[in-house]
Amino acid sequence: MTISSVNNEFNNSVKQHTAQCFSKASGQYGQYAKVQAKTAQLLFSMLRTGNKSLLDLGSGPLLHQQTLAHYADSIVNMDLSHSMLMQGEMSDHRICADMDSLPFQSQIFDVIFSNFAIQWSQDPAKLFVELARLCKPNGQVVLSSVLAGSLYEINTAWQALDGRAHVNQFLALSALKAHAINAGFEVRVIKQACLVDEYPDANAAIKSIKHIGANQLQAGRAKKGLMGKVAYTKVLDNYPVTDSCAPVTYQVALMELRKR
């Protein structure tokens, strides 16, 4: 198996940190990505069949290859993390690259599929323009993305420690819609879903974010080093627990776009 690496020598510290987090989570991602599995099923229902080429953007450990193979003759898997791409077994079309610097010619994909990935783009307006560039005429894009209001339980818990935001600032659904329209897409489907993952206690809930590689604290990151037991206990004690269950709530965008 060969993985092509394109522009993956990151001179951007945030991108480098993101890639490192996902690489560390690559071996266990499928076990903990429960909400991501739900959104994938919702996206599959939007896909049209009979396509020649499909890009799985932010493919992670290639969990969806068997299903996506029913929708296109050829699948290209792209992810920021080389370790993620090493996990799958079905496809040899794997490219390690940054979604903010897409290494493809114009108008080569019939479909672009992206599940729980585009929220890590540092320039989402440009990303939508690039997705339109990659699509063939009448090309389809189906995607999910984390929205503002997600992970509020984790944010609440950490704010008890220092009063700072420890969760990424995600976009609102209206912003994603505007980016899609400005890029020239026809918005066929756009909706927001609230999906909740449940854990037995606050510690398991907080660790679940690390297990899927989503522990990129872009704002208010703590200093390096181990956190003291007293401080972490304060975080756990402030976690919103309901009926002996520690929820992790995601607000998720589900979109189907067509290139005009």
Q: In this predicted model, what pLDDT tens digit does every residue of 76-133 receive, in sequence order? A: 999 999 999 998 776 669 999 999 999 999 999 999 999 999 999 999 999 999 999 9
Mean pLDDT of 192-215: 93
In the chain, the N- to C-terminal Cα span, in Å, equals: 36
DSSP 71-126: TEEEEEEEES-HHHHTS-SS-S-EEE--GGG----SS-EEEEEESS-GGG-S-HHH
Over the chain, what is the mean pLDDT? Answer: 90
Evaluate the CA torsion angle 161, 162, 166, 172 in order and state its sign: positive
Q: Which CATH number fits domain 3-152+172-196+250-259: 1.20.1440.230, 2.60.40.60, 3.40.50.300, 3.40.50.150?
A: 3.40.50.150
Does the pLDDT at position 223 exceed 50?
no
pLDDT digits (tens, 9 = 90+) for 42-74: 999 999 999 999 999 999 999 999 999 999 999
- CA–CA dist 260, 258 (Å, integer): 6
Strand partners of residue 53: 74
Residue 30 binned pLDDT confidence (cut-offs 50, 70, 90): confident
Which ranges of the chain would DSSP assign to H, the alpha helix? 13-25, 29-32, 34-44, 65-68, 82-85, 124-134, 152-162, 173-182, 202-211, 229-237
Name the helix (H) or strand (E) containing 252: strand 246-259
What six digits make up the tokens of 114?
């992206």
Contact assessment for residue 215 and residue 167, using Cβ atoms and an 8 Å cutoff: no
Lowest-confidence region among 87-91, 200-204, 254-258: 87-91
pTM greater than 0.85: yes
Per-residue pLDDT band for 218 (boundaries 50, 70, 90) equals very low
Closest CA to 57 of 138, 122, 142: 142
Distance CA 245, CA 237 (A): 13
Q: In the prediction, which pLDDT does 219 show?
A: 41
Q: So what's the pLDDT on residue 228?
A: 80
- Work out the average pLDDT over 190-202: 97
Q: Is the pLDDT of residue 221 over 70?
A: no
Task: Report d(CA 128, CA 112) in Å as an integer.
Answer: 11
Q: What is the pLDDT of residue 216?
A: 55
Q: What is the pLDDT of residue 140?
A: 98
For the CA atoms of 101, 105, 106, 107, what is the dihedral angle to 10 degrees?
Answer: -120
Cα dihedral sign for 38, 42, 63, 216?
Answer: negative
